[in-house]
Amino acid sequence: MDDAQTLKKPPRWADAVPDREAQFDTKRRAVVRAAARAFGRSGFHNTSLDEVAEALGVTKPALYRYVRTKHEILYEAKCIAFEAGLKARTMAFAATPDPVQRIRLYVVAYIELVTGELGSFAVLAEPVTTLPPEYRDLIMARMREADRALRDMVQAGMDAGGLAPGDPKLAVAFLMGAINHIARWYSPDGPLTGRQIGEAFAGFILNGLVGMDRPRL
């Protein structure tokens, strides 16, 4: 077969269509997103799997192909948030060497990603203690990992002189406390986009971390 024939050869069907595992993961993620929105409307404890199935337009047995319990959905939603946090940190480090601007970019990107992925992400306000131990321990480990990464980012800003000296642990508690509270009031149907909220919160947070004796950012 000559080069021209090789170039004209159509792609294999297996290359063009996602494999079963990829399709399953995509559908499972859609279930989690739909459930997160349902939990946002009525609350985690007040929403049944029947209501999640109804929101997706599927039967409950079909839903059980992807998730077995509400706690599994809550766990997966929190995992999506951690994935968004990791992606936001990666984007921030790739974009600039400035440690203060990295924090700004992280805040904007994280809020935009998590609101876009989960829509109404009120489910994230549900405490970790709601989860059974097999999920809770995994989430706690990821929380510690994310907390260490953010403390390092804040410490770098302090070391560079861009942020007021202080305790990075408290600074991260302040930063993430502000961000996590968004879950209690944000609505994808509201007047502001996730990015707009992220830009506003980045300004509030950095002006707080810079300190009153320094020029505002």
The predicted pLDDT at position 98 comes to: 97
Cα–Cα dist 88/175, whole Å: 15
Place of tokens 């990015």: 195
Residue 50 within any structural domain of the chain: no
Residue 23 within any structural domain of the chain: no
Residue 206 within any structural domain of the chain: yes
120-131 pLDDT, tens digit each = 666 777 888 889
Q: What secondary structure letter does DSSP report for 190? A: S
On the CB side of 56, CA atoms within 13 Å amount to: 25
Domain of 128, CATH number, reads: 1.10.357.10
Q: Helix 99-118 vs helix 133-159: angle between axes, to the nearest 10 degrees?
A: 150
Residue 39 within any structural domain of the chain: no
Residue 147 within any structural domain of the chain: yes
Residue 186 within any structural domain of the chain: yes
Where is average pLDDT lowest: 52-61, 145-154, 192-201?
Answer: 52-61
| Sign of the CA dihedral running 145, 146, 151, 154 | positive
Residue 68 within any structural domain of the chain: no
Cα–Cα dist 58/175, whole Å: 39
- Answer yes or no: is pLDDT of 146 > 90: yes
pLDDT more than 70, % of the chain: 86
Residue 55 within any structural domain of the chain: no
- The amino acid occupying position 212 is M
Check residues 216 and 118 and name the one with the higher pLDDT: 118
Q: What secondary structure letter does DSSP report for 212? A: T
Check residues 214 and 107 and name the one with the higher pLDDT: 107
Cα–Cα dist 208/217, whole Å: 10
147-163 pLDDT, tens digit each = 999 999 999 999 999 99
Model confidence at 203, pLDDT cuts 50, 70, 90, reads very high
- Could you list the residue range(s) of the whole structural domain that residue 180 is in? 74-210
pTM above 0.85, yes or no: no
Q: How many domains, the chain?
A: 1
Q: How far apart are the first and last CA of the chain?
A: 64
